[in-house]
Each structure stands twice: as structure tokens, then as C-alpha cells.
């Protein structure tokens, strides 16, 4: 499913008028009518009590004027407040204000919502609020009178329907511009917006409905939209069923490199996940002191020891062994539990330089690279996936995790383009970006998955998919979706409880099977 930015939607609206003869006022009429229809369909009892429509001075307000007109024409009691003066309105919004104003006396102009009661509008007599204030046009921090209106709305206790996007949410990043409306439902138009599907915006939007406002289908198809919301249709084009006349050699060989003293679990989880995701063979290698643990826990995997330092880390001299192990492999996953000692860091840099295989870099390996990110360009390997969480990504780009989360999509896309790699930024609504700037937002996953080892499981799933012949970008997109969906299966049975990485790994075959059954 395609996802739009503010600029993309402006471009689509402009092309609809110029190339297809559909003027903006028609799109506005369709948008407002869709909002009114949704209110009448989903909130009939609340709407019958009374609807307050709070409108801004832009096109979002214009949508609100149209919605109010249709509700009034359908017999509903409606009060409309323009936060400003009618002389400030222009274009289609002004035209629809005029149409509403001449058909009802329900419109009030306010510069300050504190004067609401003076207009005769009693909020306690209303059953529902329509937020038509700011939409996608917000710039900077929310100011008065909108900040006061948002406070009034959120404190009212009434259900709120937002038009296009809750006022105060940045449509391109999902960030809160100081304050934002908390809606129970958002009616958006044409395409969903980034700010509706990434957090915190998704949390403020409530249920999201995408209304058809008659944007031509061909127009959307012909527009180069780089943003996607992953769904089963996308994932089914990536994962394929196994043929009967095959053997383990047909499904690739994944090499998992990691582990250190006290951190043997991370590479073990990655190895198990790679096997569950379909890799025909998996070799698990790490410090030689971990071999007894590896041998007794992942019986299906091959094991290979690497020379270790006196304190149990992978040593610099292990590079010759690792180079040999890369032969006849199809993918490498490196980093889980390997630590960040000096010798391990030197080993990693040499390994990356030598490795020509598709590579999934995670955990401690990312923390090591943070001190020298240009190694990603020096190695000339265009098949690298990095899987940082916001803290690790912040170290990579020299930014606080809170800053990272303020623009996850933009930062991930910029990094992937700069370093010519696939970047998977973990977290609520994981982001996958490729070297061409295309982005996938992953909707699966849940709060129960905020537990140790979950990233190691994801690394293994991606490596396992690559081993079967899927390219690195598609494996990252599908891996994130499958990983989250497996977690959702567990969480459905144990809501508000922790989900273990091993729980997720065991459900991966069920997810793959369900996706392939759906395809049939």
C-alpha cells in the first residue's frame, strides 16, 4: 500500500486538476461528504445529540465546512466554529464557507476558544467533535488559537473525528507539534499519510479510514511514490512455496558470527531463527570457548570455533578462519553478542572488507561501526542490511534516540542513500529503507516484543530469507513483517504480557505457512 507525504498529495491534487479536469473544489466536496457519511454511519447516537465542527482557515477547514453542510442537510444539529475571520479564507475554503453561511446560521467566528460560550454553543450539549483545524498544513509548533482549541477538544471527553490527520500531528513524520488532537477516528483522503502510520502520530489518529475522493487511479499509479505500508500483498510477492523435488542445498547456507563470554544466547537465537525462516543449512561460529554451549543448544546447525582472546572475545587472528568459513556460504549475519573489544573491532573491520556475501549487520557490530561508518562505503559491498534500534542508530549518525524517533522515516532514508545499503530501523513501526530512498513502514508487532533477544531473532529471520535466494531489500521488508506477525500471534493469547524471542522464532513457520496458504 502506498503512503503519501504532504508534497505528494499536493502534487496529486494539482495533477488531478490540470491533467484530468478535476478541480480542487470537487475533491473538497468529496472529502467533506465522506467525513459526514462516516460520522452518520459510525457515530449515529453521538451525532444526533449534536456535532461541533472546529475549522481552520485552510483547506482542512474547507473540508469541515462541507462536512457540516451535509450533516445539516441530513437533519443533524451542527455548530460550526471558524478559528479566525471569514475574510482570511481564500479559494475553495472560502467558497464552501460561503455556501455554508448562506444555508445556516450555525457558523461562528472566534479568535479565542475561551469565548465559545458567548456564542451560545454549549459543549456539554454536544455529542461529537469534528476536528477540521490544521490537517497536513502544520508548520512548526501549534500556536493559539489552535493550541487552546486542542486543549478544549482533548479535555471535553467527547469522541473526536479528525479530518485528514489530527491537528498538531506532522503528516510527514508523525511527530507532535507541541500538542495534538486525540481522535477516535481519522478520515484521510486518497492515500494514507506517513504521520498516520508511524508513532506517535498513529497513537493520536485512532481508527484510520481512507476515503475515495475521486483521485484517478492511473494518476496514483503513474506517480513515483517511494513510501509503502507493508501488507500481505507485498509480502506474498516475496516469499514463495518450496518445491517438492528439492534438498537442503537448494535453500542456501547462512553463516552466523557472534557471541562472547556471557552472550552466547544472541547468536543461538539468530541461528535458530535463520533455520526457521528457511535456510537449508546454518553454520554458527564464535569464540571457541562457546562451542560446548552451541553444540548443546542448536543441534540442527553446524558449528565452527574462532580463535578467542583471553577474556573470551573473537580475536583479531580469527580473520583467516572466518575468511575460509565464508566460502560456499550464501549470507552472513554478524554482530549478535560479539562484544566491542579492541580485537573484536579489528576483526570486524577486516571481515567487512573481505566479505562479498550479502551481510546482515546487527547489535555489537553496529556499535563498533558507529566509530567508523564509512567502512560501509569502503567495502564496496552493495548487499548489506543494518538492523539498528534507535539507540544504535543514534550512535551511527551522532544523534540522540529521541531525535531519531522524531523523524524515523526521513533519517532512515537519508542514511540508506548515503551509505548505499538497506537500513532497517527497529522499533514501533519498523522502517526499512533502501539505497534508492524507497521506504517500507512495517505495521506488525506489539509492545510485548520489547524484550531481550528480539533483535537477534529478526537478524536470523532476515539472514534465513536471504539464504533461500531472496534479495537483501526484500528479505528485510519480509523479515520485519514476519517477525512482527509471529509476535502478534503470541501476544493475541497473552495480551499485555512479555513475548520471548524464542516464542517468536517458533511461530515463524506458522506465519510463512499462512502467507503461502493465502496466496493459494
Say if residues 106 and 72 touch (Cβ distance below 8 Å): yes
pLDDT for 486-518, tens place per residue?
999 999 999 999 999 999 999 999 999 999 985
Q: Which three cell numbers stand for residue 201?
A: 502520530
Strand 431-433 to 439-441 pairing: antiparallel
Cell numbers 524484550 label which residue?
Answer: 451
Question: In 253-318, which residue ranges form alpha helices assigned H by DSSP?
Answer: 265-276, 291-297
Question: Which candidate, 38, 144, 99, 98, places its Cα nearest to that of 51?
Answer: 38
pLDDT for 265-288, tens place per residue?
999 999 999 999 999 999 999 999
- Residue 520 — pLDDT band, cuts 50, 70, 90? very low
Burial per residue of 247-284, b for 16 or more beta-carbon CB atoms within 10 angstroms, e otherwise: eeeebbbbbbbbbbeebbbbbbbbbbbbbbbbbbbbbb
Average pLDDT value for residue range 141-167: 96
pLDDT for 98-112, tens place per residue?
999 988 888 999 988
CATH number, domain 16-224: 3.40.50.10260
User: Tell me, what's the pLDDT at 105?
Assistant: 85
Average pLDDT value for residue range 186-212: 97
- Residue 119 — pLDDT band, cuts 50, 70, 90? confident
Round to whole Å and give the CA distance between 434 and 415. 9
Round to whole Å and give the CA distance between 226 and 13. 18
Interhelix angle for 91-101 vs 59-73, to 10°?
A: 30
pLDDT for 300-352, tens place per residue?
999 999 999 999 999 999 999 999 999 999 999 999 999 999 999 999 999 99
CATH number, domain 232-519: 3.40.1190.20
Q: Which three cell numbers stand for residue 47?
A: 451525532
Q: Of residues 382 and 517, which shows the higher confidence score? A: 382
Instruction: Give the helix, strand, coil percentages of the chain, each rounded to 5.
Output: 50, 15, 35
Q: Which three cell numbers stand for residue 434?
A: 533502501
Burial of 175 (0-12, 13-18, 19+ CB in 10 A): buried
Q: Where are the domains of the chain?
A: 16-224, 232-519
Question: In 43-126, which residue ranges form alpha helices assigned H by DSSP?
Answer: 44-49, 59-73, 91-101
Q: In this structure, what DSSP letter does residue 285 have? A: E
Could you tell me the CA-to-CA distances from 275 to 198, 219, 281, 484, 509 in Å, in that order? 31, 43, 7, 17, 10
User: Tell me, what's the pLDDT at 157?
Assistant: 96
User: Tell me, what's the pLDDT at 104?
Assistant: 85
∠ CA 114-117-122, rounded to 5°: 125
Amino acid at each position: 500500500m502506498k503512503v503519501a507525504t504532504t508534497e505528494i498529495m499536493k502534487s496529486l491534487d494539482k495533477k488531478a486538476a490540470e491533467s484530468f479536469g478535476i478541480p480542487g473544489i470537487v475533491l473538497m466536496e468529496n472529502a467533506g461528504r465522506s467525513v459526514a457519511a462516516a460520522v452518520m454511519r459510525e457515530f449515529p447516537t453521538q451525532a444526533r445529540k449534536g456535532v461541533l465542527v472546529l475549522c481552520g482557515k485552510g483547506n482542512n477547514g474547507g473540508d469541515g465546512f462541507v462536512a457540516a453542510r451535509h450533516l445539516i442537510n441530513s437533519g443533524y444539529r451542527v455548530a460550526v466554529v471558524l478559528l479566525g475571520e471569514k475574510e482570511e479564507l481564500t479559494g475553495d475554503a472560502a467558497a464552501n464557507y460561503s455556501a455554508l453561511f448562506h444555508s445556516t446560521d450555525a457558523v461562528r467566528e472566534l479568535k479565542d476558544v475561551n469565548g465559545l460560550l458567548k456564542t451560545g454553543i454549549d459543549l456539554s450539549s454536544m455529542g461529537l467533535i469534528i476536528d477540521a483545524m490544521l490537517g497536513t498544513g502544520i508548520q512548526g509548533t501549534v500556536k493559539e488559537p489552535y493550541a487552546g482549541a486542542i486543549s478544549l477538544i482533548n479535555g471535553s471527553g467527547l469522541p473526536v473525528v479528525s479530518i485528514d490527520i489530527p491537528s498538531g500531528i506532522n503528516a510527514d513524520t508523525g511527530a507532535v507539534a507541541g500538542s495534538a488532537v486525540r481522535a477516535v477516528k481519522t478520515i484521510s483522503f486518497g492515500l494514507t499519510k506517513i504521520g498516520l502510520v508511524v508513532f506517535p502520530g498513529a497513537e493520536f489518529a485512532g481508527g484510520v479510514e481512507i476515503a475515495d475522493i475521486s483521485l484517478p487511479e492511473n494518476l496514483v499509479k503513474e506517480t513515483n511514490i517511494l513510501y509503502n505500508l507493508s501488507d500481505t500483498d507485498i509480502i506474498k510477492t516475496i516469499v514463495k512455496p518450496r518445491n517438492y523435488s528439492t534438498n537442503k542445498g537448494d535453500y542456501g547456507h547462512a553463516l552466523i558470527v557472534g557471541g562472547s563470554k556471557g552472550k552466547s544466547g544472541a547468536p543461538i537465537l539468530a541461528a535458530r531463527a535463520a533455520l526457521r525462516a528457511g535456510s537449508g543449512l546454518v553454520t554458527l561460529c564464535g569464540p571457541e570457548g562457546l562451542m560446548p554451549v552451541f553444540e548443546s543448544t542448536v543441534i540442527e546447525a553446524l558449528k565452527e570455533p574462532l580463535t578467542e582472546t583471553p577474556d573470551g572475545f573473537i580475536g583479531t587472528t580469527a580473520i583467516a578462519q572466518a575468511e575460509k568459513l565464508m566460502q560456499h556460504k550464501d549470507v552472513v549475519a554478524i554482530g549478535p553478542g560479539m562484544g566491542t573489544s579492541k580485537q573484536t573491532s579489528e576483526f570486524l573491520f577486516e571481515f567487512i572488507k573481505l566479505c562479498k556475501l550479502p551481510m546482515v549487520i546487527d547489535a555489537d557490530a553496529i556499535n563498533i561501526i558507529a566509530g567508523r561508518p564509512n567502512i560501509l562505503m569502503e567495502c564496496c559491498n552493495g548487499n548489506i542490511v543494518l538492523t539498528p534500534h534507535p539507540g544504535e542508530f543514534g550512535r551511527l549518525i551522532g544523534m540522540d534516540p529521541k531525535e531519531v524517533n522524531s523523524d524515523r522515516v526521513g533519517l532512515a532514508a537519508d542514511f540508506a542513500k548515503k551509505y548505499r545499503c538497506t537500513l532497517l530501523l527497529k522499533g514501533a513501526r519498523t522502517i526499512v529503507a533502501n539505497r534508492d530512498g524507497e521506504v517500507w513502514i512495517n505495521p506488525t508487532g506489539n509492545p510485548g516484543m520489547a524484550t531481550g533477544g528480539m533483535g537477534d531473532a529478526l537478524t536470523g529471520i532476515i539472514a534465513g530469507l536471504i539464504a533461500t535466494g531472496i534479495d537483501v531489500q526484500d528479505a528485510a521488508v519480509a523479515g520485519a513483517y514476519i517477525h512482527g506477525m509471529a509476535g502478534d500471534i503470541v501476544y493475541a493469547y497473552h495480551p499485555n504480557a512479555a513475548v520471548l524471542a524464542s516464542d517468536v522464532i517458533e511461530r515463524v513457520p506458522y506465519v510463512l505457512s499462512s502467507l503461502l496458504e493465502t496466496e493459494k
